[in-house]
Amino acid sequence: MAAPRIGQRVPWLHDRSLLPGALRSASGRMLARYDVTRPDLARLLDGEPRYRVDQVWHGLHQRGLDPGEMTDLPKSLRARLGEVLPPALALVAESESDDGDTLKSLWSLNGSQTGGRIETVLMRYRDRVTVCISSQAGCGMGCVFCATGQGGLSGQLTAGEIVEQVIRARRRAEPRRLGNVVFMGMGEPLANYAAVWAAIERLHGDAGISARRITVSTVGLVPGIRRLAAERLPVNLAVSLHAANDTLRDHLVPVNRRYPLAVLGAACREYTETTGRRLSFEWAMIAGVNDRPSDATELAAIARPLHAHVNLIPLNPTPGYATRGTPAAGVRAFRDRLAGLGVNATVRDNRGTDIDAACGQLAARAGSAAPQPVSVGATRESSYHVDQRP
């Protein structure tokens, strides 16, 4: 690239999307580093030795390197790649909890048309390292107890923005190995299906993370569940259930009004029968709302025929929802009742509650409304007269 003359206005110095050689989407937007495909990279490296494509691809996906760190490339090529392959994510802030074992990262989306922000959470356990990633900026599902849902949807993430979260987390986890990826951060993954699945294929095929170590969580978008069942990669499915009758679930998880429990249950059965994979149900324990013995009985009627595992999650506080989580003793009693009904259940170890990094807390500081307790009066009592349809 020729150096500009003194006094000459150079457009790409002011707008990186005009940079000569930059790769662009169909809309003309400059592609970020992990939105570039292997054929894109081959075009970008036209004129270079063929092995350069493999070198750069491996450096990006297996080693998580910035182009400037790829010392097996000529210095001039490193500089050019750094210009035309910008990162999608810019770190805004980090917060640590649990003696450094939980790290929440806040990212701004470089070049995004929405200008949004997302969060990821890296969790180091004794026997594994897991990253919880976002699939959307915000969320449009409107679950009443979830901070992300309270803030609404800002925009969709690209496959590259999703992949980059994992690559960054893997570098941050070193020297330990990142082994698990869960789509349980901001957003509803199945509402951004194409980008999420493209990211999963890239993580499995190029970044070396087995699909069996990837979990997709959904509030119950039935078309997406059926589509997931037909895919070739054996990812895990977790359904955020939270209520086992339609009246209560209509309130807690509004998408239930479109896909009620009978329809959701049929899709879950199709998933397990097609894939042979174990299904998980997520259940946020809300005091006086869904933690009574009758709730356990209703949940067991749905989970047992599906051989589903239940993850019990003590509700985490958010600014927009004042109802408290179930105390620890109540959570254990609920778990034991499920076990007595033939359902395998575990209590999730909450991480990062003090830094708003726990389940349901992401983006809790943005756009929060005054806390509103859930009504558990006549509506709650009548909910137990709804016929159960597993």
pTM attached to this predicted model: 0.84
Task: Specify the pLDDT at position 115.
Answer: 62
- What residue spans of 124-260 are helical by DSSP H? 147-151, 159-173, 193-205, 222-229, 246-252
> Going by C-beta distance under 8 Å and a sequence separation of 6 or more, which residues neighbour residue 44?
21, 23, 36, 81, 84, 85
Who's near 24: CB < 8 A, 6+ residues apart? 17, 30, 31
pLDDT of residue 45: 96
What domains are defined for the chain?
A: 22-84 (1.10.150), 89-385 (3.20.20.70)
Q: What is the pLDDT of residue 348?
A: 82
Distance CA 137, CA 154 (A): 5
Cα distance between residue 351 and residue 143, in whole Å? 21
Compute the distance between CA of residue 183 and CA of residue 150 in angstroms, rounded to an integer.
Answer: 19
For residue 266, what pLDDT is reported?
Answer: 98
Query: Residue 182's beta-bridge partner residues?
Result: 132, 215
pLDDT of amino acid 350 = 60
Which residues are tagged catalytic?
A: 119, 359
Supply the pLDDT for residue 364: 34
What would the pLDDT profile of 346-361 be if each residue is shown by its tens digit?
Answer: 998 764 454 444 444 4
| Ranges under pLDDT 70 in the chain | 1-29, 111-115, 320, 350-390
